[in-house]
Amino acid sequence: MPNQRFPKVEILELRAHEIKFILSDTDTSVANTLRRIMIAEVPTMAIDLVEFKDNTTVLNDEYIAHRLGLIPIRYQPVDSMKGCDASESFVTHRECMCYERCTRCSVEFELDVSYKVLSDEDVLAPLTVSSRDLRSNHEAVAPAHFLSQDEQDEAQDEGVAIVKMGPGQKLKFKAVARLGIAKEHSKWSPVAVATYRFWPVIHINDEQMATLSLEQKQELVDTCPDRILELDEVTGEVRAVENAWDICTYTEDLDFAQAAMKKRREDEDFVTVTQSTDRFIFSVESTGVMDADEILLSALKVLKNRLNYLAQELENLKDM
């Protein structure tokens, strides 16, 4: 019987739109499963249907509909529903029992913008239609106009730009946002980046290192482009830098330098850098539809539900 494992999560950095954490006491299969769930199976809201009533802008209907699908739609529970996420308050349109759409599976948005000309002599700059112009029929669902306050301060528009209009042009439509997952379409993916790296295990052979001169040690430190090593000029000791886990990219430059310094080819390496098989560094960036920590919690919830379903199916097979 395999050994039971108890995976752990250690948060390194946490911001509204970004999280960096360590997943340990598990293996690559679980790490990659968590990454894939965050990318493709966390339910989010996105505009799925658009009904145009008037469009005299320079972009055709299909192009604007595509842009609308890429606007992050954020679900922010009201006070009476604190602690809920979109997947708890809505159901995906494929799971809903309604005939076409209802308030349990969809939210409607409206946009009606006209660029009126007061005088033929006026020379007017183009008008930017943005996500700020979308009006939702659900008080807790709205576009995420900016990812952070810094982005908002640097932006030239009031939200996510949809199209620029000239004088006399008009854009009017109704849009329907639905709950879905990125397995169906990438517009439902909550992450812009979801990656993991193996934790570096750096071992310094003190016995072999003692055979090197101070100049050779410094050359070895300088050879590594990642700068994961440092030399104490007082004691002559070579050690790994404090943040080596964050900058190590497993380059081969260090191996080539060591091979040239060895007196015999069969001698042990001065420094070995290997990849841990049970410790992983995750970096996750949100598109704005959810906070980064909510994405991680939702992914863990999806994984838990999948495992519970698998366990139940196995029990059913035993009873047959």
What is the per-residue pLDDT across 62-97, written as a single tens digit (0 to 9) for each?
Answer: 999 999 999 999 987 644 444 556 556 788 777 778
What is the per-residue pLDDT across 149-173, written as a single tens digit (0 to 9) for each?
Answer: 777 777 777 889 999 998 889 999 9
pLDDT of residue 80: 41
Q: Which of 1-5, 8-12, 15-19, 199-203 has the lowest mean pLDDT?
A: 1-5
Q: What CATH architecture does domain 43-189 belong to?
A: Beta Complex (2.170)
Phi and psi torsions of 213, nearest 5°: -80, 170
Beta strand 106-114 with 229-232: parallel, antiparallel or unpaired?
Answer: unpaired
Q: Where are the domains of the chain?
A: 8-38+194-283, 43-189
Q: How many CA atoms lie within 13 A of 188 on its CB side?
A: 21
CATH class of 8-38+194-283: alpha beta
Burial of 16 (0-12, 13-18, 19+ CB in 10 A): middle
Q: pTM of the prediction?
A: 0.84
Same fold, 8-38+194-283 and 43-189: no
Alpha-helix runs per DSSP H in the chain? 28-40, 61-69, 86-89, 149-154, 206-209, 214-223, 244-247, 253-261, 292-319
- SS3 label, residue 7: coil
pLDDT of residue 108: 94
pLDDT of residue 49: 93
Check: CB of residue 177 under 8 Å from CB of residue 107.
yes
Beta strand 135-136 with 106-114: parallel, antiparallel or unpaired?
Answer: antiparallel
Q: How many CA atoms lie within 13 A of 301 on its CB side?
A: 12
Give me the sheet containing 18-24, strands edge to edge.
Answer: 8-14, 18-24, 271-286, 191-204
What is the per-residue pLDDT across 178-187, written as a single tens digit (0 to 9) for each?
Answer: 988 999 999 9
